[in-house]
Each structure stands twice: as structure tokens, then as C-alpha cells.
Amino acid sequence: MATGISKSNWRGNGGSHTVCSVSNGATDIVLTFDGKKSEAEILETFPAKLTRLWPKRVSSTTENRFYFGDNLPILANLTRDASVCGKIRLVYIDPPYATKSVFQSRKQADAYTDILEGAHYLEFLRERLILLRELLAENGSIYVHLDENMAFHAKIIMDEIFGRQNFRSWITRKKCNPKNYTRKTFGNVSDYILFYTKSDEYVWHRPVEVWTENTAAKEYQCIEPGTGRRYKKVPIHAPGTRNGETGKSWRGMLPPPGKHWQYLPITLDEMDARGEIYWSPTGNPRRKIYLDSSDGIPVQDIWMNFRDAHNQNIHITGYPTEKNPLLLQRIIEASSDEGDLVLDCFSGSGTTLDIAHQCGRSWIGIDNSLEAITSTLQRFANGLMPMGHFVKKLEEIDKLESEGPILPMFDFLQNTANKPVNDEPHTPIRDFQLFTSEPHDIRINKVIDDFLI
């Protein structure tokens, strides 16, 4: 692996190169496309007129809100709400992916359309990202979940909106099991999450994967005599020369060429006195890192263990593109504290809202799909169902279609036999307010009657 050196230590040796000035994090690359509005115009988006549908009377001070309608004017409304604007600690969104498709739920009901592409899609996303930036707290974070269609374009847009210096990670997620393809290409098993913050100061709890007996024994191969503590040996020097104390001799030896000690000589003496330095038979010092001092394996930017539902025993809502709850749990716990406000303006099946609630966060969800609202309220009221339930239900639909008219979209959910059977009892979520933008689809009244009365 090549090891770079800092600009300050580079002497320009080894060839002729032109050194370009750096932008100190400012965006010096932007996308230009037809229909791109000014930020000022977007920030003046006319706000939605909202009506609270449930509960009719608010007896609590809950911050949890659920909105039915186009998220752009609803976000514009929230930017004018002093109790919300600048107070959102975490945004996670899983917007349409520019697939040019119409998605249906496992009940074969139209859930949402994803027909925008190119410049139209980018501006659709950009408008919402600008408003989300305004809603974020100064120490807030945003995660945008996309696939290969538009993730690379969105990266440039997000650099422009949030500042390139606030880009934190490009996370690659394994989304499914390996596939067998007939076309001439590699199997597509990944999608991407772009992680940005609003500033350098942001909430961060480093996620770790807990050590197992096998991983611990592999990483920490040494056992300390007398204490029995497992440890590993790591160098006590680091790349780069230094002219201060860390570049001087310690115990009669200099750091290797081009390196410096990681610690001041006096600190190394203290570590050695505590028995934290391992000396090889040839007199080469190494630092002991103990297993019992480690919380776990720090999570990197490739996530392999958060596949979407892939067997009939996994509990789901049946909504298309539903994400793994453990994926949202990792993000929420990493970038927010208990009591913080989490927002998802493409809330779909309500996974973000559900997990935020379970993690002790307040939340705001928005979606313009009646099927999404239905799926979320079903989830709040009754929990999740095994994926196999939907397979069985589709077989019933096929039979019904052969005999006569199909059931209306909501009749599925009125039968108590369809309520989920989970390993743990479900605690209904009722601590929220449900709003709609006007004029609204009156079918939402039926959904409220089914789940919230």
C-alpha cells in the first residue's frame, strides 16, 4: 500500500508537476443543467396548507409528526416553523432512484412512481436537499440512499449544497444475495449511502461490531503471561519525519527513516513502566493493544449485513423498497442522541420512524403515497408480518381474480387474522400527529378509521 506525505513535507522531487491551489473545502465543481433554479427561488417555495387529521384534539406535546402530501411544500412549511427549522439532528432519505418504473406493494397496489430522470430528477432531489439543509441543526447529519443510476451525480449536487468539506462517507451496502445474470456484466448486489454533515461539529457515536470468540482470537493473538489478557502488537512509529521530541532518540534508538514516534519519549517511558510495550528478542519495541480495552471492530464504509428482506420468515410491511430496520438503527444510533429529532421525507413503509421511536428519538415523516401511509399506520398499529404471509396472500388474490372482482386495497388490513405474529409483543405507536396537505385525498379518512380509532 502506498503511503502519501503531506503537502507541507513535499519537496517537489521526482518530476515536474503543476501544483494547483486548493479550495479549502469549497465546491469548485458544479453540475449545470436545464431547469436548475437558484437557491433563493427554492427557499421561497410556497408552503403547504396543512390540516391535522388525527388526533382531532392534541392533549400531548409530542414532537412526532406524520404528513401525507408532496414533501416539497411540506418541507417549505417546516422551514417556517421555528420549533423545527434548525433543530433536526438527523435526516435519512431513500428517494426514488430514477428507475423509470412504477412500484407496487406485495398486495399489488400501486405504491409510487419513479419516472423522473436526468435533469428533472436532479432538480427534484436538489430542491428537497436545499430545504433539508435549512432544517438541519448545525451539528446535524444527512444520509441519502441511492443506487448507481444517480448516486454519482447526487454526490456533486450534495458537495454544492452542503460543502465538499462536509462529506463524510460513501457507504456501499450489500442489498441482496448474489444473482445469476444472463447479460454480460457483473451481478448488481450493492447500493450506496452518501453521508454529509452540516458542519465540522456533529453528533457522532462510532459504531462497532462486537467481537466474537473467533474474530477476537484472530485479531488479538497474544496472551499476556500472569494476567491472561489478550493483546495484539502494533508499531509505535508513524509515517512522516518530525523535528521535535517525537523525531529524537528514545532508549538509544531513532525512529525508522521517514518515520517518527507516535508518542513523546516521556510517554513511551510511562507506557513501558506499565508493561504496555512489548520488546522483541531483537530489541524492537511494539505497543500492546488489549482486547478488553476495545468496544468492538470499528465499522468501515462497506456494510455487508443489512440486506433487504430475503426469506419468508423476515418480518416486513410488504411495501416495495422497504429497508432493513437494522440499517436504520445503525444510522440513527451513530448520528443522533436520545430525544433528538429525526426526519425522513420519503418515509415509505415507516422504517425510519419506527426505529427512531424504538431508539427514543422524536421523528417527522412525510410521504405522498396513500399506500405508504397505509403501510406505516398498519405497522404502527399491528407491527410487521412474515414475508411468507404476503406470498400466501398473493395466491389468494390470484384465486379471487379468477372468481370475480378483487378486494379493495384496504380490505386486507381489516381482517384480524392478518395481524402479524412476531417473536415479541408489538407495542402500538400512537404518540404522533397526522397531517395532510390541502386539498387532500379523502381516502385517507378511511385509513385513519382502520388504524387510529
pLDDT per residue as tens digits for the range 364-383: 999 999 999 999 999 999 99
pLDDT in tens, 327-366: 999 999 999 999 999 999 999 999 999 999 999 999 999 9
- Residue 8: the pLDDT is 56
d(CA 45, CA 121): 18
Which of 368, 352, 345 lies closest to 444 in space, CA to CA?
Answer: 368
- Residue 90: the pLDDT is 98
- Residue 105: the pLDDT is 45
Cβ-in-10-Å burial (0-12, 13-18, 19+) of 157 comes to buried
Which of 398, 359, 375, 397 lies closest to 321 in space, CA to CA?
Answer: 375
pLDDT score of 227 more than 50: yes
Three cell numbers written together for 88: 433536526
pLDDT in tens, 75-98: 999 999 999 999 999 999 999 855
- Residue 104: the pLDDT is 45
The full DSSP string for 390-438 is HHHHHHHHHHHHHHSPPPPTTGGGG-GGGS---SS-------SEEEEES
d(CA 367, CA 350): 9
E-state strands within 120-159:
136-146
| Mean pLDDT, the chain, whole residue set | 85
Query: Rg (Cα) of the chain, in Å, rounded?
Result: 27
> What is the pTM assigned to this prediction?
0.82
Domains and CATH numbers, the chain: 47-207+299-451 (3.40.50.150), 213-297 (no CATH)
Instruction: State the DSSP code for 38.
Output: P
d(CA 251, CA 240): 20
d(CA 158, CA 161): 5
- Residue 61: the pLDDT is 77
- Helix/strand/coil (H, E, C) string of 328-349? HHHHHHHHCCCCCEEEECCCCC
Instruction: State the DSSP code for 130.
Output: H
Mean pLDDT of 114-130: 83
- Residue 112: the pLDDT is 46
Mean pLDDT of 148-156: 92
- Residue 30: the pLDDT is 84
pLDDT category of residue 401 using cuts at 50, 70 and 90: very low
Query: With contact defined as beta carbons under 8 Å apart, do 352 and 365 qualify?
Result: yes
pLDDT category of residue 11 using cuts at 50, 70 and 90: low
- Residue 428: the pLDDT is 93
- Residue 180: the pLDDT is 73
Three cell numbers written together for 45: 417555495
Label the pairing between strands 88-93 and 341-344: parallel
Query: With contact defined as beta carbons under 8 Å apart, do 63 and 341 qualify?
Result: yes
Taking each helix axis as running N to C, give the angle between helix 443-451 and helix 370-382, from 0 to 180 degrees, rounded to the nearest 10.
10
